[in-house]
Amino acid sequence: MLTNKWYLVCPSNELRNEIRQYKILGEEIIIYRNPDKSITALEDRCCHRNVNLSLGYLNDDRIVCGYHGWEYDRNGACAKIPSQLEGDKIPPTAKIKSYPTKDFNQWVWIFMGDEERANEINPTDIPEMNEWPFTYKEYIFKADLEATAESLIDPYHIAFVHRNSIKSFMGQIKESPADFNLKVLDDGLEGFYRRANVGTKAEKVYFGDEENIGTRIRFYYPNISRLEIRFKERILLILEHVMQVDEEHVEMKQITLWKNIFPKFPAFAKFFMAKKSAKIVEEDIDFLSSNLEILNKTKNQFHEVSVKGDEVSLAFRKFWRKKLQETE
Ligand code: FES
Ligand SMILES: [Fe+2]
């Protein structure tokens, strides 16, 4: 589990004075916005009789346990016990874990790990998240975290896994053998290469007869992969934020952003992108799940066979594993 990192929760404008439940790195968490716009994130457990606080309700910035009404403040300290008489002391151990949070680039982030380190470490800064229209969806499925993080930036899978959704304008890789112009950075990897549009007539009308569609890939350690495709002034940007939910499941938040695509019809653009994105992720999940199933069944007895074209994946894994070792 990758601790001491900031994780994405949801778009800032979705978080209201209502309880939302999440499971992140095996921990059950409730999160809500306080009336003064700050955010509270607490362990989803009442320390009185160990039940989920998410079964309770909010009273301004306090969460009230649904069982016997104990109230917790934004730091997770119990602030009221209805069965006590005036003057009775609240036991100092009546406290649950709270988590640092942030509104950053119009998303809510939560810090998982050693609370004191939250100030030294920044969330991943992707300015487009703050500026461009987007659509997003969360998916929880059984898969290997590394394979999931790698899937978006794997260049050769698009024309095959996504042959029924986006092959046409994300197209075939232009040069063969392709040069991915890969660079290993301190906080990830980046690369650039070209694709050709092999689209239908309709798509060619819109996306152009573009022979050299610039494709940029980026991985931001610890857990956001980025794929950016430019056709003339139009830009499609896909972000995939992955994390371990528990021992078996990973969660992927797929965020699709765009610029200059159907700019006169923003509602249509959103509808179109949401539909396409969902299809794309479902296609990926089939393969990620299949991969995990075979790994589990065969207990890693089969080595993979890799070729030059797997350069991006191999570089990603090398970087990722080195980082994981450093963190341990
Ligand atoms: S279990 Fe929460 S108040 Fe008793
Ligand atoms: Fe994919």
Answer with the one of 117, 137, 159 that is the final residue of a domain. 117
State how beta strands 234-244 and 57-59 pair: unpaired
Least confident of 85-89, 90-94, 225-229, 298-302: 298-302
- Specify burial of residue 122 (Cβ count, 10 A radius: 0-12, 13-18, 19+): exposed
Task: Please state, in angstroms and rounded to a whole number, the distance separating the CA atoms of residues 279 and 149.
Answer: 18
Mean pLDDT computed over 244-258: 94
One domain for residues 28 and 134: no
Mean pLDDT throughout 54-63? Answer: 97
Among 25, 20, 29, residue whose Cα is nearest residue 3: 25
183 in the same domain as 106? no
How much of the chain exceeds pLDDT 90, in percent? 73
- Output the pLDDT for position 271: 94
Q: How many CB atoms lie within 10 A of CB 227?
A: 20
In a domain, 256, yes or no: yes
Considering the domain boundaries, does residue 200 fall inside one? yes
DSSP single-letter state for residue 25: T
Q: What are phi and psi of 76, to 5 degrees?
A: 90, 5
CB-based pocket (< 6 A), ligand 1: 46, 48-49, 51, 65, 67-70
Q: Is residue 298 very low, low, confident or very high in pLDDT (cuts 50, 70, 90)? A: confident
Q: How many Å lie between the centroid of ligand 1 and the Cα of residue 47?
A: 7
pLDDT over 80 at 201, yes or no: no
Predicted local distance difference test score (pLDDT) of residue 207: 62
Bridge partner list, 308: none
The minimum-distance atom of ligand 1 relative to the CA of 50 is 1
Mean pLDDT of the chain: 91
Nearest atom (ligand 1) to Cα of 68: 3
Q: pLDDT tens digits, residue range 126-174? A: 999 999 999 999 999 999 999 999 999 998 888 888 888 876 666 677 6
Q: What is the DSSP-derived secondary structure letter of residue 174?
A: S
Place of tokens 């232009």: 174
The CATH number of residue 41's host domain is 2.102.10.10
Position of tokens 């029924």?
A: 164
Residue of 47, 51, 52, 62 to test ligand 1 pocket, by largest number of atoms within 8 Å of CB: 51
224 pLDDT exceeds 90?
Answer: yes
Same domain, 105 and 235: no
Domain that holds residue 203: 128-327
**Does the pLDDT at position 321 exceed 70?**
yes
Number of structural domains in the chain? 2
194: confidence class by pLDDT, cuts 50, 70, 90: confident
- Check whether residue 212 and residue 306 sit in a common domain: yes
* Sequence-ordered strand ranges (E) for 187-270: 188-196, 213-220, 224-231, 234-244, 249-259
Residue 159's H or E segment, with its range, is: helix 158-161
Together in a domain, 198 and 293: yes
pLDDT at 208 over 70: no
pLDDT for position 168: 61
Q: For residue 208, give both structure tokens.
A: 């152009």
Whose C-alpha lies nearest to ligand 1, atom 1?
Answer: 49
78 and 140 housed in the same domain: no
Phi/psi-derived region of residue 327, left when phi > 0, alpha when psi is between -120 and 50, beta in every other case: alpha
191 and 301 in a common domain = yes
